[in-house]
Amino acid sequence: MTVAIQDDIGARNSMVRGGGVPEWDARARVEWLRNQIDRHDRLYHVMDSPEITDAEFDALLRELRALESDRPDLITANSPTQRVGGAPAEGFTEVAHLRPMLSLGNAFDDAELMAWHRRTASLLETDEFDMVCELKYDGLAVALMYENGEFTRGATRGNGAVGEDVTSNLRTVKSIPLRLTGSQVPELLEVRGEVYFPKSKFHEFNAKRVAEGLPAYVNPRNTAAGSLRQLDPRLTAQRPLDIFVYSIGVHSEGRHTMGAADAPSTQWEALDLLRQLGFKTSPNNMRFSTIHEVIDWYRHWREAVRELDYDCDGLVVKVDRLDYQQHLGDVGREPRWAIAYKFPAEQATTWLNDVRFNVGRTGSINPYAVLEPVYVGGATVRQATLHNEDYIRSRNLRIGDKVVVERAGEVIPQVVRALPSERGCSDTYITMPRVCPSCDEPVTRIADEAMSYCRNASCPAQLVRLIEHFVSKGAMDIEGLGIKQGRALIEAGHLRDAGDLYSLTERRDALIDMDRMAEKSVDNLLSAIEQSKSRPLSRILVALGINFVGSEVADLLARNFGSMDALQEAEEESLVSINGIGPKIAKSVVEYFGRPSNREVLDKLRAAGVNMTEETAPGAEGTPLEGLRFVVTGRLPNYSRSAIQGRIKELGGAVSVSVSSKTNYMVAGEGGGSKLADAEKHEVTILSEDEFEQLVLDLFRRNLHIELPLSPENS
């Protein structure tokens, strides 16, 4: 076989150089070479069972390059020769995911995992359900889109709803198939996976950098993430990234490939289909029937995790049946049907040199430890949270103690415990401040709460933190106003709350007279403030700093209420009816809008012309429903009404509560009532839930400018 391949390649190369390959033969040969190279790539990078030598593989690749050089018209984006990376990009465009890429809730001990299992069993009304266990890879989550088996687009997770288009970089990852294999290739397939940097390759990569006089990278996870965000794909191609694919996001069966009966009905079947299509899945995936088997599997990997050639920080447990997953749904940004059981965090010991306190934007008094610097969890830690007074007391911590430090969730450093045996006679008890360290007003502790608070509404530290949060990139994104400038403006009396930012234009001359506020920097700041007025409602809700309202909850609120006025008048009952909004969030939102001081800030924002409604930017990529108006009515089989409404808005559509001449579609379930008659009166197209999903897929294809054969069986 080997000799035949070499002889065949040699003869073909001679013909190419002599210009003797007919057009039909060149096209057929190119296709044969691509199939062979894809096959051997998969055998080597995915199956770990190569059939030919590296030299023979290189010979195949050289012949393909020679043919494509002779016939550039035969080059395609998914040719194996294109894995080297194209020209540098100017930046990354945003991509809206067809289905949100949710994050996972965490369990840190057996009791928390058992509690998740009990909640799940209660919601399913049965404790007999299988669970799939997958190792939790520590890399960068991505979504890969395939059209008729061809890789067309890849994106990072981003905020879960919108990510960055990194297609060119993902093409360089050799374990990502550019074309799918097998007899069951769907028309449209989006899969999710985790790109990682193998530890062995990472150490080799760092050794080479050091030998070249370059600084070593800190850890594989950050290096993998940074590699995928290189603007020059040729740099990404130099880094031996790998991937594990673990789920299907969107799946549409092809007319001539498989029927609906053949589509996966469980996570286990989905993993098997992914393997058949040529994706690399983890060999350590397992399926269990009882939670005790899951715990045993967790304990095995807790001890064996260091044997893996990639970073892993826990076990992901998923309900196996996909219809059960649909029934369970999600809350906030987390699915109810899955949980991450985390391994114990990496720990180190160091000295607790001091305890200091800062004031949060809600007035909370937050103690933190000043540590002798120590390397833990891939970073040098100098400070660590102490959470609150109860936390300090329960661990009997004292200044001067030798303490154990870990990075909670491998992000936030915290002091776990003291080592009393190392304690000397100079150790000092830690006492909470009786007055605010910023304004000297008395500190109070509310019953049944662990935190102490400064209740002075004019506390400068609270306002500094709130302004810092308000202008941050994820909120109003006002450049030129850092924490130092914010503090200076507050001390000068120009800012009493966030609403005063929009009256700074009237104080331009006074700002220029301030230290380190040159005329150009002041004008740039005022311009940035003016531009921020057009931010969407969801960003303003984030900026306000409402407890428990992050970007994803803000998106839910903005999509479901549409305006600040409507949200201000909302009651807890209407808030908790939204899929993803729980009682704690609802109470916090209602309390925020009930405070007169907060309403005063909102009045200032309105008067300044700050946008108070949620609109979808026309023509945005990944918004196939842009320009269409929907009404949703009745009981849907798989989704709540609010979930469908939220999805419509995510994809650029508008949702109305009543039918009018402007309505394009109605999504109707059982018990649609009088709205169905209104739809017929206005000649509005009525869709079932399945027909709505088909419409989204069809319009999404059209948005990508890809013509695909349609099938009534598509879902």
Question: Is the CB of residue 634 less than 8 Å from the CB of residue 652?
Answer: no
CB under 8 Å to 489, separation ≥6 — which residues? 467, 495, 504, 511, 514
Helices (H), 571-631: 572-576, 583-594, 596-607
- In the chain, what's the furthest Cα-to-Cα distance? 91
CB under 8 Å to 429, separation ≥6 — which residues? 398, 399
- CB atoms inside a 10 Å sphere around CB 49: 8
- The one-letter code for the residue type at 570 is A
Alpha-carbon distance values, 431 to 390, 425, 446, 613 (Å): 11, 18, 17, 47
Would you list the DSSP string of 228-262?
HT-SSHHHHHTS--EEEEEEEEEEE--TTT--GGG
* Residues designated as active site: 136
- Scanning the structure block, which residue is given the tokens 């018990």? 671
Output phi, psi for 8, to 5 deg. -65, -45
Kindly state the tokens that stand for 354: 């001091």
Kindly state the tokens that stand for 476: 């109003």
Kindly state the tokens that stand for 555: 């998106």
Question: Is the CB of residue 577 less than 8 Å from the CB of residue 642?
Answer: yes
Burial 201-225 (b: 16+ CB within 10 A, else e): bbeebbeeeeeeeeeebebbbebbb
**Helix, strand, coil tally for the chain in percent (to 5):** 40, 20, 40
- State in Å, rounded, how far the first CA of the chain is from the last one: 44
- Scanning the structure block, which residue is given the tokens 């419509």? 648
Q: How far apart are CA 293 and CA 306, in angstroms?
A: 21
Question: Is the CB of residue 452 less than 8 Å from the CB of residue 431?
Answer: no
Partner residues linked to 288 by β-bridges: 131
CB under 8 Å to 238, separation ≥6 — which residues? none
Q: How far apart are CA 231 and CA 229, in angstroms?
A: 6
Q: How far apart are CA 489 and CA 497, in angstroms?
A: 11
Q: Shortest CA distance to 514 belongs to which of 495, 496, 536?
A: 495
Output phi, psi for 52, to 5 deg. -130, 165
- Scanning the structure block, which residue is given the tokens 């894809």? 38
In total, the chain counts a number of residues equal to 715
